[in-house]
Amino acid sequence: MEERFPLINRVILPIYVKEIWMYDMRAYGGCSMNIAVIFAGGMGTRMNSNAVPKQFLKLQAKEIIIYTVEKFERSPLIDGIVIVSLESWIQHLWRILGKYEISKVMAVVAGGKTGQESIYNGIKEAEKIAGADGIVLIHDGVRPLIDQETIERNIHCVQTYGNAITTAPVTETVLLTDENGGISDIPDRIKCRFARAPQSFYVKDILAAHEQAQSEGRWDFVDSATMMAQFGYSLHMVDGPFENIKITTPYDFYLFKAYQEAMEARDIFGI
């Protein structure tokens, strides 16, 4: 397929190439497809980045969104990728996808007015590719430290239980507070988790939840796990790497930088 459709065509004619991918990948038949839906639609006002969206900030001349997409690109279990982007940055995104020879991106769609609407747009595009029985792994474009094991475990968890919420153990005491600023409860830390990403579902289930939320005028869900729990789904967790942080502040960016440098030193020097 690479020989027939060189990368430059994906940059110039993404819709055409997406349709070819859909045909070739479905030709295998039988198995449901696993599609990563990567949200890259935020501006990142907390990053103080002079109007460059945080997902396009660079580390060692490579954009954060590329570090993230490459993790799914390299997974043998991921059949395709849909990216939800700020509309004004879509052409730039196609250019850098071509630069880094990313071959699994089948569509880049514009985000909506809210994060919830943007994710819905991405899932609807995934439905066109994988159908209602496909699996979607919903991930943040600024969460580049996801690993292959967590991607694999998400897919297997969906196949076994119907969904998968990536988590990380809580390492400090959690306090529940009341409206007066008092402490109302201290839950057992062993039973607490940070909710992270990917958050993975069958297309038909997450679409049904989104459409129920829309019918009720709800546009305020902070993530897919919260929405699914609200509508009665029993959720299942997959503990992922603690370093799988979302880069939303300059502090997060420097943590990412330090981690990347440590990994490169390990690869080069064997330390």
Q: Which carries the bigger pLDDT value, residue 33 or residue 2?
A: 33
Q: Is residue 74 part of a domain?
A: yes
Please count the structural domains in the chain: 1
Residue 271 clears pLDDT 60, i.e. is over it: no
Strand order in the sheet with 80-85: 105-110, 80-85, 34-40, 135-140, 193-202, 163-169, 237-239
Residue 138 clears pLDDT 50, i.e. is over it: yes
Rounded distance between C-alpha atoms, residue 172 and residue 174, angstroms: 6
Q: Is residue 1 part of a domain?
A: no
Which pTM was predicted?
A: 0.85
Residue 134 clears pLDDT 80, i.e. is over it: yes
Query: Nearest to residue 251, comparing CAs of 39, 54, 30, 21?
Result: 54
- Which domain covers residue 72, as residue numbers? 7-269
**pLDDT at 105 (0 to 100):** 98
The helix (H) or strand (E) run that includes residue 116 is helix 115-130
265 band by pLDDT with thresholds 50, 70 and 90: confident
Q: What is the pLDDT of residues 157-176, one digit of tens each?
A: 999 999 999 999 999 999 99
> For the residues 73-82, what does the mean pLDDT come to?
98
Q: Is residue 20 part of a domain?
A: yes
Residue 98's alpha-carbon distances to 87, 105, 162, 171, in angstroms, are 18, 10, 34, 40
> For the residues 183-210, what does the mean pLDDT come to?
96
20 band by pLDDT with thresholds 50, 70 and 90: very low
Mean pLDDT of the chain: 88
- Token pair, residue 25, equals 């990948």
Q: Is residue 34 part of a domain?
A: yes
Q: Is residue 184 part of a domain?
A: yes
**pLDDT at 263 (0 to 100):** 84
12 band by pLDDT with thresholds 50, 70 and 90: very low
CATH of residue 94: 3.90.550.10
Q: Is residue 2 part of a domain?
A: no
Q: What is the pLDDT of residues 225-247, one digit of tens each?
A: 999 999 999 999 999 999 999 99
Q: Which carries the bigger pLDDT value, residue 41 or residue 80?
A: 80
Q: What is the pLDDT of residues 92-128, one digit of tens each?
A: 999 999 999 999 999 999 999 999 999 999 999 999 9
> For the residues 47-74, what does the mean pLDDT come to?
90
Q: Is residue 25 part of a domain?
A: yes
41 band by pLDDT with thresholds 50, 70 and 90: confident
